[in-house]
Structure 1
Amino acid sequence: MNGLLMNGAGNAFLLADIRDGGAEAFTPERTQALAREHRLDQILLIAGSAEFPVMRVLNADGGEVGACGNGARCVGWYLMQADGSDRVTMGSLGGPLVAEAAGAMRVRVDLGPARTGWQDIPLAREMDTITLELAVEAPGLSLAGPGAVSMGNPHCVFFVDDAEAIPAEEIGPVLEHDTLFPERANIGFAQVIAPDRIRLKVWERGAGLTKACGTGAAAAVVAGARKGLTGRAVTVIADGGELQVEWRADNHVTLEGPVAIDGEIAIPV
């Protein structure tokens, strides 16, 4: 079985079509080994059928998660290339996703509705998700009052003065495992440059600090708009590129950005 190495705004993936078999190749141990060898953030498996493909997402630590925004854009590109269409619907653990072509090697995906109830994140106890009762103190650093959003996976977003100055690799793992988040959480650090432009770094649960996080970008825009810090259509600047996010009036969030092919590898089954 062959796998396609792709990236979405720097988010590194291995994409494997397992609709004709091969799922057994992706044990947690094999997933971890592939992620280490190829420096992957996630492995994307295409299951289901030709009529209704289903995206499965395996993190670098071997665990399966419900959503991956940039991954959905890469899977959407692959499926559209395969059938010559410019729009495709796919299933995922986080719900149905619709991807469409948005230019040469660009894909827009409807990630579905933003979920902001405390049970939906989920949180361990009832709390206002616009401003969580959560703080972190470190030498020269004091952060408090993040927002929480689920985009099919849990996100906690701190708004900071300077995203570059945040020691995300030090505090991200601690916050990911805070007892407030029974399913752990992705931790974002967003700097508002303008109401329609933010700089974002995300510590992803099970993957670490990545060059981009699509659902993290979506969550940051929703959290920022709920706090009155941003509008609802925002360019999100990640380490790997720029993403366009819109939180629509119907509560759905769309994510648009580039995809790229990095190579092809053989996967032993």
Structure 2
Amino acid sequence: MPQQPILRVLDHTDTELHPAYCEYVARVFSQADFRRWCEWGQWAPGYLAYSLFEDGRVVANASTMRQRLIVDGEEILAFQFGAVGSLPQHRGRGLARRAMQAALAGGGDAPALLFANDRVLDFYPRFGFAPAPQSLFEAAHALAPAPQRAPQRDLADADVRERFLAVAARAAPLGRRFASRDYGRTATWYAANGYAAPLFEIDADTWVFAHEQDGALTIEDVFAVAPSHAALAAALPRLIVGPVETLRFGFDPCALWPQAGPAGPDDEAGLFLRGIDPARLGPHSRFPLLART
């Protein structure tokens, strides 16, 4: 009988094995890469990779990121899954299932969530996950640019990263229905891969990811120690270079921008929950884009 792959649980200290993990991710997920994120020193306690090794390579994996969720006004410790799968030539051996089982055992009874692509929507219900619809949000709002734009920051700069992460660790959640907090290192992954919107420093305690296109301003995320509607409204003209008529949000803005409303389903989200009743999210919610692993 062929020898079964060996399970290793990788954490931030297993730097000699990180390259093998990064190679696995690059082979399985064409639009994901962990190499630059690791070079930035962002793999920290709270992120674990349940990796199956064979001949020195990761052939299957399920990772978990510790998450401070806000669900229906309650803060709970949960785990978000990511990088679940196996190398194409090793599929059909049950290896992804084995990695998932190991990761679930590692999380114990804690609630869990994940975002799945549309090719594997039937895989996660086998482990007790239930789909939970997500919504898009927008608001009509006319804006003209301010005389001076807010300074744009680059998270490739180590000093900028340090200051951003300090704010992210103290930032208040943007809502009470379905949100998260202290996910700065997840946001840096998006920046490391070029997927995040430009980052603006409004003041020492307020950073905003946002971009404008065709008369619409997408506020991807707000990391603020004391977020408020008034503060955001004052900051918006400093984020744009041309007139804007519409605001779009990468999170549920109902607490921060009450004028916003649902603008249709987020068909690309693929959210699944385990140990959390989807009904607690209400009929419309949106988990922050930059908190998704």
Normalising by the smaller structure, the TM-score range is: 0.3 to 0.5
Structure holding more helix per residue:
2
Question: TM (normalized to structure 2)?
Answer: 0.31
Question: TM (normalized to structure 1)?
Answer: 0.32
Structure holding more strand per residue:
1
